[in-house]
Amino acid sequence: MSRTSVKSSIFPAVFGQGRSIPLKQGLLSKKSDHSWMSGEWVPKYVTLTGEGLLVYYPSLSDYLDSAGGKEIRLHTATVRIPGQNPDGVQCGVVVDKEEDHEDGETLNIKSDRHSDRNIFEIISLSQQRWIFECRSRDERDEWVRIIGSEIKACLQGPCSGVEGDVLSRVLDPGIGNNVCVDCGDDDPEWASVNHGIVMCIECSGIHRNLGSHVSQVRSLFLDCLSEEQITRLTTVGNYSFNQEREADLGRSFKPSPRDDREVKQKFIVRKYRDCWNFSNAKDNMK
C-alpha cells in the first residue's frame, strides 16, 4: 500500500463509506490533558493518515462517527520513546492495574509517570507533548516506526528548489536571515525548519546534537525543502525569533563567530533547550 491513504469501498461498515483508511489505527491510552502530572491515563482511539496527520478520538464509535477527534500535525513534530538510549535499552516499568474499556479492550494503566516501557511521545516545535501508552513493547515500537516514517516523508516532502528567487527570500536581510541566528556569522547555509531560522554550519552541528524534537536541521543547498518549510523560514526569520527567544535569556552572553565551539554550545543549549521550563510544556499541551 502506498503512503497516501486510499478510500474504502470494500469495508464501509468498518471504515465508513468513503473514509480514508489510516496507515495505522488502534486503541491506546493517552495521558490526560488536565491531570497529566498525576499520571491519569484515558483510553483513546488513534488513527494515522498518509497526510502527516494523527487524530485521536474518545472511542472507536466516535471515530466511526467522525466526532470529537483532536488532530496532531506531524510536519513540525518528532516522535520518541522516553528514556531510551541510543542502543535501545529500555527503562523498567511497573503496571499497577488493568481497566476494561467499554469497547471490550483491556488496557494497562500506569501510575508511575516516569515509567516508559510501553510509552511513546510526540513533541511539537513549541514543546507541546502528547504521551501515549501501548499494551506491549512491540505495539509501541510499531507506532513509533510508522509515525517516524510519516514525519520523515513530510520533511522530505515535494521539493521546492531552494535557489534563485526562493533562496533570496529565505536569506532576506530584512528578516535577519543573512547571518547565523546564534553567533551572527555571515552567509548561513543551514536551517532549523521547525523554528524557521537559518544558521552557520558550526551552530547547525550543535543544533543536531540537541535532538530533532528540539531542532530539525536541514541544508539550504543540499536538502529538499517543502513549501511549508520555505514559508516558515520566510515568515518567522532570525530577527523575530531572537526578539522573543533571547528575551528569556536575560543577560546571557551571546557568542560571536570567533568564539570557541564550547562557548556557542553553552549558549545554544540554554537558548533552545533549557529555557523551555516545565510550566511552559504543561500549558502548551493539547
* pLDDT tens digit sequence for 4-58: 443 333 344 444 445 668 899 999 999 876 555 556 899 999 999 887 889 999 9
CA separation for the pair 187, 190 (Å, rounded): 9
Task: Determine the distance from the C-alpha atom of residue 111 to the mean position of all C-alpha atoms in its chain, rounded to a whole number.
Answer: 25
* pLDDT beyond 60 at 225: yes
Please answer whether residues 36 and 30 qualify as being in contact, where contact means their C-beta atoms are separated by less than 8 angstroms: no
What is the mean predicted confidence (pLDDT) over 140-155? 86
With 0.75 as the threshold, say if the pTM is over it.
Answer: no
Looking at residue 39, its pLDDT comes to: 66
* pLDDT beyond 60 at 277: no
Please answer whether residues 59 and 45 qualify as being in contact, where contact means their C-beta atoms are separated by less than 8 angstroms: yes
Q: Which amino acid is at 81?
A: I
The residue ranking higher by pLDDT, 87 or 145, is 145
Looking at residue 273, its pLDDT comes to: 84
Q: 208 is written with which cell numbers?
A: 543536531
* pLDDT beyond 60 at 178: yes
Q: What percent of the chain has pLDDT over 90?
A: 43
Lowest mean pLDDT among 17-26, 45-54, 173-182, 228-237: 17-26
Looking at residue 242, its pLDDT comes to: 95
What is the mean predicted confidence (pLDDT) over 120-144? 88
Please answer whether residues 167 and 177 qualify as being in contact, where contact means their C-beta atoms are separated by less than 8 angstroms: no
**Polymer length in residues for the chain:** 286
What is the mean predicted confidence (pLDDT) over 207-227? 86
CA separation for the pair 268, 284 (Å, rounded): 22
Looking at residue 52, its pLDDT comes to: 83
The residue ranking higher by pLDDT, 39 or 273, is 273
First to last CA, the chain: 31
CA separation for the pair 286, 74 (Å, rounded): 14
Task: Grade residue 231 by pLDDT with cuts at 50, 70 and 90.
Answer: very high
Please answer whether residues 197 and 238 qualify as being in contact, where contact means their C-beta atoms are separated by less than 8 angstroms: yes
Spell out the residues 6+ positions from residue 24 whose beta carbon is closer than 8 angstroms to its own.
47, 48, 142, 143, 146
Distance of CA 83 to CAs 80, 135, 142, Å? 9, 18, 17
* 3-state secondary structure (DSSP) of residue 121: strand
CA separation for the pair 246, 255 (Å, rounded): 12
Please answer whether residues 10 and 21 qualify as being in contact, where contact means their C-beta atoms are separated by less than 8 angstroms: no
